[in-house]
Structure 1
Amino acid sequence: MEEADRILIRSLRLCGAELPDELQSLREFSTEMIVEAVVRCLRVIDPSLVSGISHMLPPGMSARFRIGMSLAQACQELGFQGEVGYQTFLYSSEPDIRQLLMFLAEKLPRDSSEDTDQPIGKSRALQRAIAAKIREQLLLPWVPPSCRTARLQRMQGSCLMRHFHTQRLMLPEKCLSSDAVSSDVRDFYENYLPPVTAQVFQRAELAASLLERSLADVSSVQEREAEWKSQGLASRLSHEDYWQRKHQRLQKRVQEQLRQCSQCPTDSQFSAGASGDHIDSLKSFGSRGKQEQGKGSQCTRTEKFTFRPELVSSAGLMAVAVESLPSSRKLDQDNRTQQEEEVTSLQQQLEQLSMQIDEAGAEVKKLNLGLMQIEDARKQSELHVAENEDVMKVKRQTVALLSDAENNLSKLQLVVESSTKRIVHLASQWEKHRVPLVEQYRELKKLHQSRELESSRRLSDIKEVHKQIRTAAEEAKRKEVLYKQLLTDHESLPKDVSRAAYTQRILEIVGNIKKQKEEITKILLDTKELQKEINNLTGKLDRTFAVTDELVYKDAKRDEAVRKAYKYLAALHENCSQLIETIEDTGTIMRGIRDLEEQIETEAGKRTLSNLEKILEDYKCIKQENMTLLSHIKEA
């Protein structure tokens, strides 16, 4: 029992219970230790059951009773079938506490107890690592910033904390030794591409940039695999063909977008938006540059606006217009006034030209619409003319044949008969060819359906294999995490404890249990043999007494001495029966005595007397608290 108590105490310490190191048995537990151990276990199992309950007992008795009732209710909600109440914690007995704590220890999560055979998640491993680091830092005393060494500055200071800023890194996407990389790309990667340490502006952003690039690569690979398993397998193409077709589709889409964006805007597009008026004005202004050269101002004569409309773009027009504007700081007042008049006249001309262009554009649209209608009418007329020509040709041939109608009718009948025979002959030949073709078609259709079924089955097998591969990969990762965690736990275990000692102790316990089982089996066999022997002797005794009683009873009628012997025989038999009953009653009494001794030991383990004394003390405390409350009420 002491071994079980030590294991149970170690489990409680792993849950966070602060128990003395010299504690070796549950018999030494106090009320405060029991409450703390139960609360710690419940917090690990289900924190919602003990939310708001402290693991420290308050000094007031009413508050202690409330905590005891709350803990009893939490244990019942958890599924504890034994008897539990506030007395279990406040006036505890060793068997009840052992039963309750063993129940809670069995309910503990496997990753928080000693059972590390089950796998743990990455989050749990990270939490353990964080907890170990925090414990290591908590062991160090806090030092003022001015007195910290370099190591303490790294551990207790914030000098290494940086914002997560990233920059885009350029890395070789393929192996440089492969044939897929061209010589120019290989030369760029080898001679001109700077290392990643030189691609970031600040040294602190290197780790964040590498993490982001690695995450992007991993996510792209995962998305590629997911797309291949979901859409690529369903397309029934090979891996290379699927990605090549997708690449071609993307290339076509990009080319279409570039072709649409690269088309030059037309005159109607120039006049459509708000900026089109300005562009048309600049174009008309440029086209009239030669006419205005003779009568323009000095500025217009020197600048010489000679634009060609077919080469004008929006950006070029704006740039030329900006360059053509004179500088107001270099001109005098007369030139400025003259320029304003010229600008006003030019703006009026531009407005007139824009209106003319709009009217011309509307007229062009109308003409285009009429041209399309005329083109449709022309096509319909051509079709009608072709039909009439065919009809006229047939009629012309018919009229030519009417001159010799009888001969032509006989010839026509011969042609019809020969055509009929020929059609029948062709039909028979076609039937001969059709039957094997139909059979071949049916066979090919069956073969196609069987191949479809086979391909569907293979596709399902491939998906199942991918699923098994994914499961195996997850299992390998889980075992890798478990191995690392076990390795960490092994390194954190005390090195002074020998594994051989624990193994030897376990083997000794197993050997003792085996010996006890052998002794129990031997005692049971001896008891069965003894019971069997007793039954045989009892039967033999009864039979012997019956035979002797019959013989003596026959002679007792004739002889007085035999009559006395018969009486002595009956008295002896009765005395022997009473002796056997006395021996049986003695055995029953001895068993009862042993049961009572065990009950006495059980009651002694329940610490009834100490609990009664504690109850009396608590009763006095409650009376004192009640009197204090009454005095407060009277004063209020």
Structure 2
Amino acid sequence: MEEVDRILIHSLRQTGTDVPEDVDSVKQFTSELIVEAVVRCLRVIDPALGNGLSPSLPPGMSARFRLGMSLAQACQDLGYKGEIGYQTFLYSNEPEIRSLLMFLVEKLPRESAEASSQPAGKSALLLKSIAAQIKAQLFLPWAPPSCRLPLLCQMQSPGLSNGFHTQPLSLPHRSRSSGKTLKEVKDYYRDFLLPVTAQPSQNSSVPASLLEQHALDLSAAQEWENEWNSQGLLSRLSPEDYRARKRARLQKRIEEQLRAAAQSCSDVQNASRSGPDLVDLLPSFGGGTVGDQLLTKGTRFTHTEKFTFTQDPEKAVQQMAAAVNSLPTSHQSEEDIRAQQQEELASMQQQLQQLSLHVDEVGGDIKKLTVAISKVSEELKQQEQSNTEKVATIRIKRQTVDLLPDADNNLAKLQALVDASSRRVASLSSQWEKHRAPLVEEQQRLKELCSSQELESSRKLSEIKGLHEKIRQSAEDAKKKEGLYKQLVTEFENLPKDVSRSAYTVRILEIVGNIKKQKEEITKILSDTKELQKEINNLTGKLDRTFAVTDELVFKDAKKDESVRKSYKYLAALHENCTQLIQTIEDTGTIMREIRDLEEQIETENGKKTLSNLEKILEDYKAIRQENSALAAKIREA
């Protein structure tokens, strides 16, 4: 059991259970350690099942009972068939805990266990130490600053913190197509490109920028690998050709988008200009003169200005005269001038509003006319299409009417034409059949060849995919083995040099030898038992046969001689006594076996720590009574 307990303790430490170094047997496990070990195993096996459970025992007894029942239910959900309940965790015994831990360790995922036990290199050791420090800090309870000890002040101080701000970085890279870099680019990288630590504006942004750049590179590499495995292999092109074709398609699509955008812009500009119909309709609304001036898009201010300054010359002269007369004279006071200006401003604003309303009305009429023109254009197109169909029908009917006066001759000519056409069709069909048969055979042959080539190409493609997957898997295995090799070298360097390998080898050989001796002894005992059972069966059969023969012989003579009759009675009594003696010996062996079983049960019960568990139960019972009395007192006070 010692080796089994060591294996269990090693597996529990790998799951994150804090097993003390002096504990080397399941017998030394406390209730707190058992609960922590079970919860850690449940979290590794099924995180959804174990994350809701606490790895430490709560102080209250009712909470402890609830936690024990939850753990028992979780173990039963995983498939544990043994007897389990809250008493398994609170009042534990060695055999039950050993069987439960063996079940949970067997349920642990092998890959995660191997990955947790086989990290790679110095970086993995650093990550492991960081995780240990974080775990230690998480286990410490939080305390206010005034109550912190020096260790807590060191661990729970806020320290310096910076926001996660990233900035784009410029990194040297090679061209994907040729794999080489131009001399000018190399000179730029060597002479002008700043180091990565100097490119961000703040030093605190360097780690965040590096992490962001690394994440972008990884995502780009993963996207390219997925695209190449899904589409690139099907194209049957090399990676460089596939990239070139993809780049050409992207450039073509960009050109088409730019061309479409430029065409739409030109259409909008052409649509913004009024056509000749609008130019003809414009004078009727007083919007302008027919000439080289076109209706261009403008603001309300430009339209108002146009309507204001495109009036008759006489009106313009009159307005200018009024403006001259309205100039301030020396005899007028400033108040009159200001009042006159306010009146002119109000009249001009009113005129501006009227012109704006007129412009809006004109714009609405133009829109309505545009819609009407489009409808009329559609109707015109439909009428033209119907007229074209009617003209074609009329032409056919006219030709038919022209043929009616000489109907018999025309019918004969038409029949001759139909016969000639049918004969021509028959000859063409026979010629086509002659040409069609070899073409159909050639088509079938080419189809079969194409299908076989497609099957072969698909098979080769699947083989290529399999080879790519094997290459990727082999590369991952090589990386894992290389990391494991580095870790083992590091651990070997850290191991004490005074321990020799021969000691471990001798110990392993001794364990193997002891196991082999035990197997040989068990085999020998089994063979001896079989031989004894055989011998017992032979003697029993021989005894039965001897008694039957003796009984028959003595019984024949007992009818004639009185002394023989007494001998027969003595023989029967002897046989009965021997039978009772054999039965007594068998009962004695059975009783000895039962005694040994009872002794083993006594040892098992002694290992269950019944007395200590009974004391714990009494203490817990007293604690529950105290809690109940305290709750009852609180209820009475309330």
Partners of 1:375 and 1:538 in 2: CA distance = 122
Which residue of structure 2 aligns with residue 254 of structure 1? 258
Q: Tell me the alpha carbon deviations over residues 514-570 of structure 1, each in whole angstroms, 9 at most, x when there is no partner.
A: 332332222222222222222222222222233333334444555555555444444
Query: 2:166 touches 2:212 (CA, 8 Å); kept in 1?
Result: no
CA 1:591 to 1:204, structure 2 compared with 1: closer, same or farther past 3 Å? closer
Equivalent pair of 1:5/1:26 in contact (CA under 8 Å): yes
Any stretches of 5+ residues in structure 1 without a counterpart? 140-152, 284-343, 399-404
Shift of 1:599: 1.4
Change in 2 beyond 3 A, CA 1:164/1:484: farther
Question: Does 1:174 find its partner at 2:172?
Answer: no
Distance in structure 2 (CA, Å) of the matches to 1:54 and 1:86: 15
CA contact (8 A) 1:232 1:242 kept: no
- Partner of residue 92, structure 1: 92
Structure 1 residue 131 displacement after superposition: 0.9
Q: Following TM superposition, by how much is the alpha carbon of 1:387 offset from its aligned partner in structure 2, in angstroms?
A: 13
- Deviations along 1:46-73, one digit per CA (max 9) or x if unpaired, are 4655736461352x55554444444434
Once the two structures are superposed, residues 176-226 of structure 1 have per-residue CA deviations (whole angstroms, 9 ceiling, x without a partner) of 9689x999x979979998567587666766666666566556655655665
Question: Superposed, which structure 2 residues align to 1:417-432 within 5 Å?
Answer: 430-432=428-430
1:430-579 superposed matches below 5 A: 430-447=428-445, 449-450=447-448, 453-454=451-452, 457=455, 460-461=458-459, 464-465=462-463, 468=466, 471-472=469-470, 475-476=473-474, 479=477, 482-483=480-481, 486=484, 490=488, 491=490, 495-496=495-496, 505-558=507-560, 562-579=564-581
The DSSP-based 3-state class of the residue aligned with 1:7 is helix
Aligned counterpart for 1:607 among listed residues 591, 606, 609: 609
Q: 1:34 is matched with which residue?
A: 34
The answer as to 2:33 corresponding to 1:51 is: no
In 2, Cα distance between the equivalents of 1:370 and 1:418? 50
The verdict on how the C-alpha distance between 1:62 and 1:523 changes in structure 2, with shifts beyond 3 A counting, is same
Distance in structure 1 (CA, Å) of the matches to 2:456 and 2:569: 101
Name 2:10's counterpart in structure 1: 10
Query: Hey, what's the Cα distance between the residues in 1 that align with 2:5 and 2:40?
Result: 17
SS in 1 for 2:526: helix
Query: How far does residue 244 in structure 1 lie from its aligned partner after superposition?
Result: 4.2
Counterpart AA for 1:38: V
Distance across 2 between alignment mates of 1:29 and 1:520: 32
Counterpart Cα distance in 2 of 1:392 and 1:547: 139
Match of 1:585 among 562, 584, 587: 587
* Change in 2 beyond 3 A, CA 1:567/1:40: same
Q: Is the 8 Å Cα contact of residues 165 and 209 (structure 1) preserved in structure 2? A: yes
* Stretch moving more, 529-538 or 125-134: 125-134
Q: Using structure 2 for the length normalisation, give the TM-score.
A: 0.62
Q: 2:190 & 2:55 partners in 1: Cα distance?
A: 67
What is residue 75 of structure 1 aligned with on the other side? Answer: 75
Conserved 8 A contact 1:50-1:74: no
Kept after mapping to 2: 8 A contact 1:6/1:25: yes
> Matches of 1:74 and 1:17 in 2, distance apart?
18
Instruction: Provide closer, same or farther for how the CA distance between residues 618 and 225 of structure 1 changes in structure 2, counting only shifts above 3 A.
Output: closer
Greater shift, 91-100 or 473-482, is seen at 473-482
CA displacement 1:238-286 (0-9 Å, x = unmatched): 846676455434434434545665898786598543x478899999xxx
The residue matched to 2:88 in structure 1 has which SS?
Answer: helix
Tell me the alpha carbon deviations over residues 391-418 of structure 1, each in whole angstroms, 9 at most, x when there is no partner: 999x99x9xxxxxx9xxx99x9999999
Measure how far apart 1:434 and its partner are. 1.1
Q: SS at the partner of 1:51?
A: coil
Post-superposition shift, 1:474?
Answer: 5.7
* Distance change (3 Å), C-alpha of 1:24 and 1:569: same
Q: Does the aligned pair in 1 maintain the 2:40–2:50 contact within 8 Å?
A: no
Q: Does 1:164 align with 2:165?
A: yes
Could you tell me how far 1:172 is from its partner in structure 2?
6.6
The Cα offsets for residues 268-316 of structure 1, whole Å up to 9 and x where unpaired, read as 598543x478899999xxxxxxxxxxxxxxxxxxxxxxxxxxxxxxxxx
Aligned mates of 2:391, 2:560 — CA distance in 1: 163
Distance of 1:473 and 1:378 partners within structure 2: 70
Amino acid at match of 1:26: V
Instruction: Give, as a single letter, the amino acid of the residue that structure 2 aligns with 1:434.
Output: W
Cα separation, partners in 2 of 1:282 and 1:219, compared to 1, 3 Å: farther
C-alpha separation between the residues in 1 aligned to 2:578 and 2:32?
Answer: 62
Aligned positions, number: 568
Q: Is the contact made by 1:35 and 1:57 (CA closer than 8 Å) also made in structure 2?
A: no
Query: Measured at CA, do residues 420 and 131 of structure 1 come closer, stay the same or move farther in structure 2, by a change above 3 Å?
Result: closer
User: Which amino acid in 2 is paired with 1:443?
Assistant: E
Cα offset for 1:91?
Answer: 2.8
What's the offset of the Cα at 1:13? 3.4
Distance 1:258 1:470, change over 3 A: farther
- Distance across 2 between alignment mates of 1:633 and 1:367: 90
Tell me: higher relative CO, structure 1 or 2? Use CA pairs within 8 A at least 6 residues apart.
2
CA distance in 1, matches of 2:115, 2:221: 37
- Structure 1 residues 381 and 13, CA gap change in structure 2 (3 angstroms): closer
The one-letter code matched in structure 2 to 1:600 is: I
Distance 2:568 2:134 in 1: 97
Cα deviation for residue 487 of structure 1 reads 5.1
Residue pairs, 1:294-305, within 5 angstroms: none
Gaps of 5+ in 2: 140-153, 276-293, 307-347
Secondary structure of 2:83 counterpart: coil
* Separation in structure 2 between the aligned mates of residue 88 and residue 385 of structure 1, nearest angstrom: 103
Give the match for residue 286 of structure 2: none
Cα pair distance change 1:622/1:224, threshold 3 Å: closer
Specify whether residues 420 and 225 from structure 1 end up closer, same or farther in structure 2 by C-alpha distance, changes over 3 A only: same
- Indicate how the Cα distance of structure 1 residues 544 and 391 shifts in structure 2: closer, same or farther if over 3 A, else same: closer
> Which region of structure 1 is more displaced relative to structure 2, 415-424 or 442-451?
415-424
Contact 1:176 1:186 survives alignment (8 Å): no
* Partner-residue secondary structure (3-state), 1:165: coil
Q: Residues 557-605 of structure 1, C-alpha deviation per residue, up to 9 Å, x if partnerless?
A: 5555555544444443333323222222221121111111111111221
Partner Cα separation in structure 1 for residue 411 and residue 63 of structure 2: 124
The alignment-based identity, stated in percent, is 45
* Counterpart AA for 1:85: G
SS in 2 for 1:92: coil
Partner of 2:514, secondary structure, is helix
With over 3 angstroms needed to count, the CA separation of the structure-2 counterparts of 1:416 and 1:520, relative to structure 1, is same
CA distance in 2, matches of 1:163, 1:603: 61
Change (3 A) 1:536 1:439: same
Q: Are the counterparts in 2 of residues 50 and 71 from structure 1 also a CA contact under 8 Å?
A: no
Q: Give the conservation status (yes or no) of the 8 Å contact 2:164–2:208.
A: no
- Verify the 8 A CA contact 1:2 1:25 in the aligned structure 2: yes
Aligned ranges 1:258-407 → 2 under 5 Å:
258=262, 268=274, 271-273=295-297, 275=298
